[in-house]
Amino acid sequence: MDSHLTELQNYLVLGGLLFSIGLIGLLVRRNMIVMFLCVEMMLQGISVSLVAWGRFHGDWGGQMLVIFIVTVAACEAAIGLAMILAVFNYSKQLDIAFWQEVREAGIPPFTDHEIPEEREEDRVWPTLSPAGVEPELDVEEITHRSRV
């Protein structure tokens, strides 16, 4: 098997991996911003595949399409994030499950059966360790007022 074909296969498998990892994230996560990141990751997978095809066929079409993917991704991010902000101003949370209240009539709501408890270490935030030596303060110099 020639090396061009091998390369194409490798890149297509990688593109498929990125696409499906993004798909899994989109289906599983509930934070709207993370869902958005997953959509961008799916676009990355498509880009890798398109460039690989373009190189295999010796054609600029793949790279052209990727340029337009980047353009559309930028538009999508601008509009999507503006919408997320507008939605957040209404619901005060990024949970997509909040929006099931606009579902069709007659469809039962999704309810969380088990809510994970918040552990102690989840509330701890990283802090910067103190560096250097704290300078000794000269109280007289600080409180000295020359014009009084």
Q: Counting contacts by CB under 8 A, is residue 1 touching other proteins?
A: yes
**Contact with other proteins (CB under 8 A): which of 104, 122, 134, 138?**
122
At its nearest, how many Å lie between other proteins and the CB of residue 131?
23
Q: Judged by CB, which is closer to other proteins: 116, or 132?
A: 116
- Number of residues counted as binding other proteins (CB under 8 A): 84
Which of 59/136 has CB closer to other proteins? 59
- By beta-carbon proximity to other proteins, the closer residue of 70 and 135 is 70
Please give the sequence-ordered ranges of beta strands (E in DSSP) within the chain, or none if there are none: none
The Cα–Cα gap between 65 and 73 comes to 12
- Pick out residues in 56-95 that bind other proteins (CB under 8 A): 56-60, 63-64, 66-68, 70-79, 81-86, 88-89, 93-95
Token look-up 């337009």 returns 68
Using the CB atoms, write b or e for 78-103: b if 16+ within 10 Å: eebeeebeebeeeeeeeeeebeeeee
Nearer to other proteins by C-beta: 17 or 103?
A: 17
- DSSP states of 93-133: S-BGGGGGGGSPTTPPPP--S--PPPPGGGS----PPP-S-
Q: Which of residues 5-44 bind other proteins (CB under 8 A)?
A: 5-14, 16-25, 27-31, 33-34, 36-38, 40-41, 44
Tokens standing for residue 140: 């007289």
Q: Which residues ranging from 127 to 146 are in contact with other proteins (CB under 8 A)?
A: none
CA distance 19 to 129: 40
